[in-house]
Each structure stands twice: as C-alpha cells, then as structure tokens.
C-alpha cells in the first residue's frame, strides 16, 4: 500500500513538472511576400517545423508581388478572423503595420521575418538577416575587384523598404575608401523583368560600366541576361547579386555573375516560427534574431545549394 502511495505521489510530481502548455495546440499564420524560391524555401521550412512539432498548426498565405500591400493586409485580417494566436510574416511594406496593430489588439503575437518595420513597437521578435551587414559583404567583395575611378550601377529593390535599402547602404559602406563612381541606379521591385530593363539602360548609357550590384536575386539574374544580350564579355563587367536565388546559380556557373550574398531562409523561418511558438507559450524570446549571411562565388557555391 505504501509503495502504491509512493508511486502515486511520484506520478503527481511528474505531471506537475511538465509545463501546463506542453500539449496545448498552437495555431499560427505564416505569410510571405510573393512567389519566388526564397519565400518558397521559408514556407517549406515552416511546414517542416510543424511536422516535427505536432502541436503546432500553421496556415499559409502569400502576396502576388513585392508591392502587394493590399493583399498582405487582407491576409493578416483573414488570419486574425480564423483565430490564429500568432502570425509570422515577411512584411511587404511598413504600411501593413496598421493591420498588425489591429491583430495585436486582438491578442495576436507578431514575429517579423526577413525585414523589419522601423519604429513599429508591436512585434514580439524579428528573425532576419542583418541586411546592412550582408550588403557590406557585397561591398567589401567589390572593393577587392574594382579600382579607383571605376563605374558602378545599382539595381535597387523596392526603395523605401528598409531591408532592401540596407542592402544598398551596406554595400556602399563596404566600398568606403575606394573612389568608385555611381553612374546610375533604378528600382526593380525585385523582379527579373525590371532587372533586365534597368541593367540595359545602365549598359546603354555607360559603355565602359565596370560593375553592377543588384539588391535582390531576380534582378541580378535579369542583369546577367542583359549583359549576355549586349554581347559584353564576362571579364569586362563585374556583377554582384543578393539572395543567391532565382537564376543566380546559372549566372554564376556561366561566369556572367561573379558573386552573390546568400541568406539562410530555412534558418530564418525556423527561428521565426520557433520564437512565435515560444512567446505564445509564455517563454521569453530574443527581440532580434540574426539568421546570418555569406558570400557566394563560383568556387564555393556548391555549399549553398
């Protein structure tokens, strides 16, 4: 009888030692910007996380383009209506913060991924690449292959989006100390089509252009096509991209593109979802979670596939 009492007491202690939320299901929303491989990788990472954690249910949404503000707002509102406890998203533009404020007011926790919304205080955490530091990696590489007086054209992403602006400003910081002339820049909305157009314009207006930097993967691939279409020899112009996606692998293999800055979208998504789950379950999480970045060249690109 005493043994049974002891076993019963131990069982009660064991139950008490397990946090009460351990088996409680968690329902999340996961929203990415638009359909490119980078965001597909993030979504797949979130799905893998959910498979490894049976108590986590995730519903997914994605915008149509890098400027689909209304689409992202609609998805945020829909997920709140569907009863999610938290939303992890890659914000397409700072103006979606109004919809996020309403979500927070409804008790929904928000984790931002990929890029921040400056001055918005509602987030629980930010899981991202340090885009300024990553841009600096690109600039430091350019500094090793260019010389004073060389000309550079810039393919911006979406001007006004902090993460994309940081990639340009970081690149310029990396070039600091080398007198390179910026001969032109243009917005691409992170699309290959606009990347081709802006690069063609740069090449036409600057026959002696020495380098192009693209702040997103699709425009980098577009610039590679523009360079090839113009009949410019690979060794006449340096092309550096960002994201190592969306055609950049082929451009690096062919020798048209010289380098790219890789982010780690799988890690970013996993860290973002994990922070969201932990915060919902009452655990403390870091407010800033850096998922890292690295320089990709034809010599080391196999490591980043």
Give the SS3 label for residue 90: coil
pLDDT in tens, 63-116: 998 889 999 999 999 999 999 999 999 999 899 999 999 999 999 999 999 989
Contacts of 233 (CB under 8 A, 6+ apart): none
Q: At 258, give phi and psi (nearest 5°).
A: -100, -35
Q: What pLDDT band is residue 19 in, cutting at 50, 70 and 90?
A: very low
CA angle 232, 233, 235 (to 5 degrees): 130
Are 217 and 247 in contact by the 8 Å Cβ rule? The answer is yes
Per-position DSSP letters for 217-270, written without gaps between them: HHHHHHHHHHHHHTT--GGG-EEEEESS-TTHHHHHHHTS--EEEEE-HHHHHH
User: Measuring CA to CA, how many Å separate 55 from each of 15, 25, 285?
Assistant: 18, 4, 19
- Whether residue 22 has pLDDT greater than 80: no
> What is the C-alpha separation between 278 and 65, in angstroms, rounded?
30
- Over the chain, what is the mean pLDDT? 91
CA angle 122, 287, 266 (to 5 degrees): 105
User: Measuring CA to CA, how many Å separate 112 from each of 86, 127, 235?
Assistant: 11, 6, 40
Q: What is the pLDDT of residue 182?
A: 97
Task: Find the mean pLDDT for residues 244-271.
Answer: 95
Give the SS3 label for residue 305: coil
- Whether residue 16 has pLDDT greater than 80: no
Q: Among candidates 72, 127, 79, which has minimal Cα distance to 97?
A: 72
pLDDT in tens, 196-229: 999 999 999 999 999 999 999 999 999 999 999 9
Task: Find the mean pLDDT for residues 237-247.
Answer: 95
């Amino acid at each position: 009888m005493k043994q049974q009492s002891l076993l019963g007491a131990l069982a009660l202690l064991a139950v008490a030692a397990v946090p009460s939320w351990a088996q409680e299901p968690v329902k999340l929303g996961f929203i990415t910007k638009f359909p490119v491989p980078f965001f597909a990788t993030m979504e797949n990472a979130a799905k893998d996380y959910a498979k490894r954690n049976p108590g986590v249910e995730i519903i997914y949404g994605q915008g149509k383009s890098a400027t689909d503000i209304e689409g992202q707002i609609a998805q945020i509102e829909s997920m709140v209506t569907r009863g999610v406890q938290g939303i992890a998203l890659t914000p397409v533009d700072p103006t979606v913060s109004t919809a996020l404020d309403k979500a927070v007011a409804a008790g929904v926790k928000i984790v931002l991924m990929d890029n921040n919304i400056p001055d918005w205080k509602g987030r629980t955490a930010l899981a991202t690449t340090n885009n300024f530091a990553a841009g600096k990696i690109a600039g430091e590489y350019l500094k090793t292959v260019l010389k004073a007086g060389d000309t550079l054209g810039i393919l911006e992403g979406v001007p006004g989006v902090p993460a994309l602006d940081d990639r340009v400003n970081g690149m310029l910081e990396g070039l600091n100390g080398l007198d390179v002339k910026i001969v032109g820049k243009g917005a691409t909305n992170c699309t290959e089509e606009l990347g081709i157009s802006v690069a063609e314009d740069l090449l036409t207006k600057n026959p002696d252009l020495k380098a192009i930097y693209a702040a997103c993967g699709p425009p980098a691939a577009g610039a590679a096509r523009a360079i090839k279409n113009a009949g410019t020899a690979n060794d006449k112009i340096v092309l550096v991209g960002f994201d190592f996606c969306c055609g950049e692998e082929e451009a690096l293999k062919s020798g048209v593109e010289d380098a790219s800055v890789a982010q780690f979208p799988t890690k970013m998504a996993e860290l973002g979802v994990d922070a969201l789950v932990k915060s919902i379950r009452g655990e403390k999480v870091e407010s800033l979670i850096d998922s890292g970045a690295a320089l990709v060249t034809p010599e080391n690109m196999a490591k980043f596939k």
